[in-house]
Chain A
Amino acid sequence: MDQKKSTLDLFHDLDLATELRLGLPGSNDQPEIIKTSLSGNKRSSSEMGSSTCTDEQESRFSPPTKEQVVGWPPVRSYRKNILQVKKTDSDTGSGMYVKVSMDGAPYLRKLDLKMYKSYEELMKGLQVMFKCIIGLYSEREGYNGSQHVPTYEDKDGDWMLVGDVPWDMFISSCKRLRIMKSCEARGLGDCV
């Protein structure tokens, strides 16, 4: 009982002339219902301390943009960083899709080059996608001996044999892929 009494006294000790409400001191307006966030420019404004009461309250009650809200959503900073690292790992972040055609196939396919880290992986992917066998690449013979030969169009518009240049160079210059039948690809390898 005594506890309760003292908390009421606590409340009454407040100077009722400066009774707290949501409006500016001195005005007699009914307090507005604040539905928007209050944190405004909390940490981005460097002039907070010297501004007048009016400016302060206004800026506090303006809806925040994402950059302004500190600590929201409540995700720990190491989680933020991990996801950002993932983004920078994959440069453009949105994949690198190129058209892939296969001679004799009725329609083209699209393939994300970013999903592969090497020629070996790419070949596996192509073989699965088109149900063909591509065979092994060699610098001297190209894909001699296979039924299908992978080629690509580079930035200059030339058709090149897949596998000649280092993987990273290939990724940055490949615009589209074409899997040729080996009988048509003779011109790219050794002439018989």
Chain B
Amino acid sequence: MFPEEVLEHVFSFLTSHTDRNSVSLVCKTWYEMERWCRKRVFIGNCYAVNPKVIIKRFPEVKGVELKGKPHFADFNLVPEGWGGFVWPWVVEFAKGYPWLEEIRLKRMVVSDECLEIVAKSFSKFRVLVLESCDGFSTDGLASIASHCRNLRVLDLRECEVEELSGHWLSHFPDSFTSLEVLNIACLGSEVSFSALERLVARSPKLKTLRLNRTVPLEKLSTLLQRAPQLIDFGTGSYSAEIRSDVYSSLKDAFSSCKNLKSLSGFWDVTPAYLPVVHSVCSQLTSLNLSYASTQSPELTKIRLVVLDCIEDTGLNTVSMTCKDLRELVVFPSEPFVGDAEVQLTEQGLVSVSQGCSKLQSVLYFCRQMSNSALISISKNRPNLTCFRLCIIEPTVPDYLTLEPLDVGFGSIVENCKQLTRLSMSGLLTDRVFEYIGTHAKNLDMLSIAFAGDSDLGLHHVLSGCDSLRKLEIRDCPFGDKALLANASKLEKMRSLWMSSCLVSFGACKLLGQKMPGLNVEVIDERENLNSLPEYAPVE
């Protein structure tokens, strides 16, 4: 038996929460040891456990990460007011974790009152990351700015913020110099530029600065000059009249940023200003041009996020020049228009899969796909870990053969043995689910829409995918049979979302009764749910 000090030292090397969870199951001693030295706790579903339980089990926690609403909330499928409120957690943390340093939240509702409690309760508070959160205003941000003397990170990723005033930034006192990350890209209204400039000027450790759209291009060089140590920079609106003085000062400012690795922003691009970025291109690992509907120049990077305006020709260039590319994201410029004017097809993705040998992760929106393209992609890139394909029109078949895309996606799961995340689209029958159940043994998350023929499809997935933890399904003809037959599988998963399928209210009630460990929730916006016949499908 190792003495406690040795065990504790060994455990300190375990940072992954899954490893820590495993370690705590070995024996009572290890459970006790581990719980006392866990510094960061991750709760993937805020309704899975009571905050008091967490605080009791892990008394020394310094950082908490919580996730709230289901993923499909991003696409307006979860009604307003569903939940994901962080309030009960913050209240408990204020009592139980006075030395809390870091809070990371995703898809949660955060009120100004919560932010005020956070600002006032934790004297060592350093990191606030809010991703896809809503419910707060710039007043809440002002509280954080006023009171968090040791703040290092304020990262608002794609949040919906009620913007009452741009002066919240001025609430950071003049003595505040510890800022390392500031991401305000999601704010739509102007923030006080002078306050921003002064803040940047007195933050020598600032490594990430992501501006919002209202910061004009003409002012970028001023900011960059004050922060040449930046590693990650997001511009504001990248559009201005072509003026040589603006151009040259911007070019000089970018050249002096020797550590720049990631660029983003680029709203409303004036193409003439893009070349100023060339001097830093070769050192970039990440480039997000997804707000710039112009074709991007040749740039070497590891993560590329663009609009489909890049077209097949642009992706062909990427495949030839970006040999270190690991992640490709292509968003649609006109998602709600039937006929695209952009020449982006399955070919672009096939090229990249051929030329970029390190490609692991793909999110691709396009308007046509074929089984042969999917098979090529799977053979070119068996190292894919994340493959998310969205063909914009639902239930569209292989455009060459008019067959379902079962065989193509089947090839993806068969060849890409390390695949952990898959999203599918297009015309798909139960067959594709048979392939998935048979081959996708490492799949952690699966997203399905407008697919399948019967319960057999769902049954294949639930019974075959050994590692599956998150499953989200919309508009598929899956009913009660497969769900109930695989109820025990559900206990091993983090979450299952089914909407517009054929699950009956009766089955939901039955599931809830028979599986008390499961949290079964029915959301149906019709009135008088109880008066519906039990076999009627719920939303």
Contact = CB atoms under 8 A, between A and B. Distances in A.
A42 to B, nearest CB: 6
A89 B268 contact: yes
Contacts of B535: 18, 20, 25
Q: Dominant SS at the B interface?
A: loop
A64 B449 CA distance: 13
A140 interface: no
Interface in B55-79: 72, 74-77
A44 to B, nearest CB: 12
Interface string B58-102: 000000000000001011110000000000000000000000000
Interface in A30-71: 31, 33-39, 42, 48-49, 53, 56, 60, 64, 66, 69-71
A32 to B, nearest CB: 9
Contacts of A86: 268, 293
Interface of A: 3-4, 6-8, 10-11, 13-14, 18, 20, 22, 25, 31, 33-39, 42, 48-49, 53, 56, 60, 64, 66, 69-80, 82-83, 86, 89, 117-118, 120-121, 124
Nearest to A74: B75
A13 B510 CA distance: 9
Interface string B367-399: 000000000000000000000001010110000
A34 B336 contact: no
A94 to B, nearest CB: 10
A36 B393 CA distance: 12
A100 B327 CA distance: 44
Interface in B482-496: 484-488
B395 A35 contact: yes
B477 A8 contact: no
Interface stretch (B43-51, B144-152, B276-284, B497-505): B497-505
Contacts of B537: 60
B474 interface: yes
B427 interface: yes
Chain B interface: which size bin? 35 or more
A36 B241 CA distance: 49
A75 B486 contact: no
Given A20-B502, A38-B477, A82-B267, 6 more contacts: A10-B510, A14-B506, A37-B394, A74-B75, A75-B331, A89-B268
Interface stretch (B14-22, B220-228, B525-533): B525-533
Contacts of A124: 242
Contact of A76 (B158, B338, B427, B534): B158
A180 to B, nearest CB: 26
A96 to B, nearest CB: 17
Contact of B241 (A31, A34, A56, A117): A117
Contact of A20 (B186, B268, B480, B526): B480
A11 B390 contact: no
Contacts of B241: 117-118, 120-121
A69 B395 contact: no
B163 interface: no
B8 interface: no
A20 B158 contact: no
A20 B479 contact: yes
Contacts of A42: 500, 539
Contact of B484 (A7, A53, A75): A7
7 contacts: A34-B453, A37-B450, A53-B536, A71-B474, A74-B390, A76-B158, A78-B160
